[in-house]
Amino acid sequence: MKIATYYNNAKSAFSFVFDDGCYKESTLDAYENLKEVYEKTGVKIKITSAQTVGFLHEGLIDMWKKLISEGYADICGHSIDHCLCYNDVTDPTLLHKDAKETKEKLEAIYNTPVIAYVTPGGGSNQAGWDILKEYYYANRNGNDRLNDTYNMNLYDIGTFTARFAYDEKPYIENIEKTIEDGGWCVQMNHWLSKKEQDTHHAQKYETFLPEIMYLAEQVNKNNVWACSLNEMVKYIYLRDNSTLVVNKTEKGTEITLKTDLPTDIFNIPVSLIVENSVECVDIYANETIII
């Protein structure tokens, strides 16, 4: 008996992170697409919004609260003002202040633990990661890389940057590559655009719906787990920092997932692969189940 690499023993995993948290109309368009995919396929894709505190205002916060409450989004930190770089630690007090205040302010606004960070401006280095470790469980960087969740630095999570493309082909190919490799892809988005000059940071609007529709079809084949960045971070920590205690009893096999991780934060199930069974079994931190 063991904990599956990914939830439901899927072959691979895929996450979307939308940076900055401030592209309202584009976000609402993406939300309509996510809803359409859910209605057609039954797959609810939850994106992670990396939020810059200084970019937020009441209308944006209300929009994100609605998306969060409907299960289409969760959040992580993306600095106070988007001006710092975590690969320049000349003045570490500035970075400590940014990491701490970003977390505290977002937690106060959304009333939820903020466990992950996304470094603004792409880069960060070991000294930056050491600071982030005091406040967060993980950090996404700008490096173009597919992640092997057993051999990775959780403070240097690689990403696939969604750039302007005329059709959905590069996005679909990236999902295919993720499934083939069995890795975890984190796609970095900013906004959805109709303008060709947005070549670097934006994904063409018409390519998003076919991409997520394809992803949902692959989810239904269990080729991929579509999870938020936060869900995967929690899954990896639980998978790699828990012990399975197994006892045969009169009622059946009693299994406890023992961990010292805080259960108020690590509140998602992991999947157990049980011998002689094709179905996985869900178990939460410090929960005991009988099978």
Q: Residue 82 Cβ, how far from Zn ion at the closest point, in Å?
A: 6
User: What CA dihedral angle connects 144, 147, 148 and 152, to 10 degrees?
Assistant: 90
- Pick the closer one to Zn ion by CB: 11 or 78: 78
- Pick the closer one to Zn ion by CB: 76 or 232: 76
Q: Residue 191 Cβ, how far from Zn ion at the closest point, in Å?
A: 11
Q: Residue 185 Cβ, how far from Zn ion at the closest point, in Å?
A: 19
Closest alpha carbon to 44 in 75, 83, 6, 16: 16
The structure tokens listed for 85 are: 């770089």
Residue 262 vs residues 37, 80, 234, 237, 258: alpha-carbon distances, Å: 34, 26, 11, 11, 11
Residue whose beta carbon is closest to Zn ion: 19
Residues that bind Zn ion (CB under 5 A): 19-20, 120
Q: Residue 193 Cβ, how far from Zn ion at the closest point, in Å?
A: 16
- Pick the closer one to Zn ion by CB: 6 or 23: 23
Q: Residue 19 Cβ, how far from Zn ion at the closest point, in Å?
A: 4
Q: What is the DSSP letter of 180?
A: H
Residue 236 contacts residue 190 (beta carbons within 8 Å): no
Residue 45 contacts residue 34 (beta carbons within 8 Å): yes
- Pick the closer one to Zn ion by CB: 10 or 162: 162
- Pick the closer one to Zn ion by CB: 157 or 238: 157
Q: Residue 143 Cβ, how far from Zn ion at the closest point, in Å?
A: 15
Residue 190 vs residues 60, 79, 102, 164, 247: alpha-carbon distances, Å: 15, 15, 19, 11, 49
Strand 270-273 and strand 280-283: the pairing is antiparallel
- Pick the closer one to Zn ion by CB: 5 or 49: 49
b vs e for 13-35, b when ≥16 Cβ sit within 10 Å of the residue's Cβ?
Answer: bbbbbbbbbbbeebbebbbebbe
